[in-house]
């Protein structure tokens, strides 16, 4: 509940600032459609009390993709998705027993509407919200099982820097915080990003 209230507050401040920035800035640039691909490392921030620390692998490579409609002002509207392996484990510890050999992994696939604001020169702040698909799999004593869960209340807050290389290409980096409401999971990622203006 506290994180939902915080998200609503951040969203309100973000929209208020975006409206102010839009009203203050007028440019002669044309609208464009852009795609930004990011790849890097992400870390799962939630503790798993039933799993020994040595058996948790919470540092994983991540990939994200954003499609933006960029009008002739600071605010951009788009769609965000990505492939976020949250964590994997190699053993599960039951209370009062030794760890039992097992494997599990969970991956998130966000499908979000994203609002991006250029706050200063090439610096951006973005907020996205929407559903997220959670894919989980386990393997225990040769038996495999998998499940898919839909999480509705999620958000991603990110900040990025994009340096223009040419009229179409920008190169930079992005830091993102990903919150998944269904399982109350938190994830932080650091990515290198490449942006391309399609037209």
The region of weakest confidence among 2-6, 40-44, 64-68, 84-88 is 2-6
6 φ, ψ to 5°?
A: -65, -40
pLDDT at residue 22 greater than cutoff 80: no
Beta pairing, strands 123-129 & 100-120? antiparallel
Q: Decide if 165 contacts 175 (C-beta within 8 A).
A: no
Q: In the chain, how many H helices and how many E strands?
A: 1, 11
Contacts of 54 (CB under 8 A, 6+ apart): none
Distance CA 24, CA 8 (A): 24
Higher pLDDT, 25 or 57: 57
Q: What is the pLDDT of residue 100?
A: 66
The region of weakest confidence among 24-28, 52-56, 89-93, 115-119 is 24-28
Q: How confident is the model at residue 24 (pLDDT cuts 50, 70, 90)?
A: very low
121 φ, ψ to 5°?
A: 50, -110
- Rounded percentage of the chain residues whose pLDDT exceeds 70: 81
Distance CA 40, CA 175 (A): 10
pLDDT at residue 141 greater than cutoff 70: yes
Q: What is the pLDDT of residues 165-176, one digit of tens each?
A: 998 999 999 999
Q: What is the pLDDT of residues 33-67, one digit of tens each?
A: 999 999 999 999 988 887 777 788 999 999 999 99
Q: What is the pTM of this model?
A: 0.81
Give Cα 189 to chain centroid, integer Å: 7
Q: What is the pLDDT of residue 142?
A: 73
Distance CA 109, CA 106 (A): 10
Other beta carbons less than 10 A from residue 74's beta carbon = 20
The region of weakest confidence among 91-95, 117-121, 195-199 is 91-95
Nearest to 36 by CA among 152, 132, 158: 158
Q: How confident is the model at residue 23 (pLDDT cuts 50, 70, 90)?
A: very low
Q: DSSP string covering 121-146, please?
A: TTEEEEEEE--EEEEEEEEETTEEEE
- Rounded percentage of the chain residues whose pLDDT exceeds 90: 59
Higher pLDDT, 112 or 118: 112
């Amino acid at each position: 509940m506290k994180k939902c209230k915080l998200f609503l507050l951040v969203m309100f401040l973000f929209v208020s600032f975006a409206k102010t920035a839009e009203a203050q800035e007028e440019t002669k640039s044309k609208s464009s459609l852009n795609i930004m691909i990011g790849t890097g490392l992400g870390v799962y921030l939630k503790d798993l009390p039933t799993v020994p620390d040595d058996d948790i692998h919470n540092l994983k490579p991540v990939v994200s993709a954003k499609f933006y409609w960029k009008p002739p002002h600071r605010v951009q509207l788009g769609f965000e998705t990505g492939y976020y392996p949250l964590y994997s484990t190699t053993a599960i510890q039951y209370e009062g027993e030794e760890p039992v050999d097992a494997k599990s992994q969970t991956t998130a696939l966000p499908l979000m509407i994203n609002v991006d604001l250029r706050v200063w020169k090439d610096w951006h702040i973005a907020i996205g919200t929407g559903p997220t698909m959670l894919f989980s799999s386990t393997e225990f004593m040769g038996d495999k099982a998998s499940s898919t869960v839909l999480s509705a209340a999620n958000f991603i807050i990110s900040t990025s820097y994009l340096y223009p290389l040419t009229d179409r290409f920008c190169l930079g980096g992005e830091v993102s915080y990903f919150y998944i409401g269904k399982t109350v999971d938190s994830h932080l990622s650091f990515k290198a990003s490449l942006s391309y203006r399609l037209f």
